[in-house]
A = this chain, B = another copy of it.
Amino acid sequence: MVAMNDERSPRSGIAPEEALRRVRIVLCRPSHPGNIGSAARAMKNMGLAELWLVEPKRFPEPEAEWLASGALDVVRSARVCARLTDALGECVAAYAISARPREWSLEVLSARDAAGEVLRDAASGPVAVVFGTENAGLTNEELLACQRLVHIPANPAYSSLNLAQAVLVLSYELRLAAALGEVRAPAELPTATAADLEGLFAHLEQASLESGFLDPKHPGRLHERWRRLFARARLEREEVNILRGLLKALAQQRARSQ
């Protein structure tokens, strides 16, 4: 996890959060306002904020706001323009998303590889990530206004992602590339020592013998099995105590009832 206060992205020289804010998501001629709202939500989920709409069919619309959920701010600050080139004006790079990389044309990057490149470019200025219509994608003219083509890996038998889902994949990859992913470590409790474990194994052995579960004449590999199982479990000290506590309680009850 990267701290966000003054940690600088080594490649970009700017803070990762700042790099994400320099990425603009550009939707060309979206048909459904719901997709605009869902795309805004996906962006905000991943820390992006700047949404541009090129000739949206219906916008603003209440449906866009409903689906934006907690990302109303992204929808309401979206900029609307008439042509893709208006949205790309001051951008230092533009990446076109396509489900169907054409044979001719630009260099094609996977979404994952593109994310690192986008952030690198963002060190120099705003960067556009450009999506086409729900049905037909980008026109050739729009593709040619971009410098690189990005492909989202998908099932060849059904590769057509919903527009907002495609926005999410790119936004998610950008967030991970910015190293902002936060995964909480498992609870840090004291780990059992080798001595703790030996105590447990001895206790298990004793209980196995006393209960008749283990025949001392034919021990098989029980001993090894216990070790293998609990080695994999990477026990905490308290867990050793719990296991031994149960074995002890079972033995004591036996003693009481004898």
Contact = CB atoms under 8 A, between A and B. Distances in A.
A45 B151 contact: no
A109 interface: yes
In the complex, the count of this chain's copies comes to 2
A153 B180 contact: yes
Contacts of A183: 101, 108-110, 113, 151, 153
Contacts of A233: 229-230, 232-233
A175 interface: yes
Contacts of A14: none
A62 to B, nearest CB: 16
Please name the 4 residue pairs, one residue from A and one from B, whose CB atoms are nearest each other, closest first.
A153-B181, A213-B249, A233-B233, A211-B249
A212 B45 contact: no
B250 A211 contact: yes
A242 B257 contact: no
A246 B207 contact: yes
Nearest to A152: B172
A246 B45 contact: no
A258 B255 CA distance: 10
B184 A101 contact: yes
B176 A112 contact: yes
Contact of A45 (B159, B234, B238): B159
Contact of A212 (B101, B156, B181, B253): B253
A26 to B, nearest CB: 20
B38 A162 contact: yes
A41 interface: yes
A213 to B, nearest CB: 4
A253 B210 contact: yes
A70 interface: yes
A103 B187 contact: yes
14 contacts: A45-B159, A69-B162, A103-B187, A104-B187, A108-B185, A110-B181, A112-B176, A153-B175, A153-B181, A164-B165, A165-B165, A229-B233, A250-B254, A254-B254
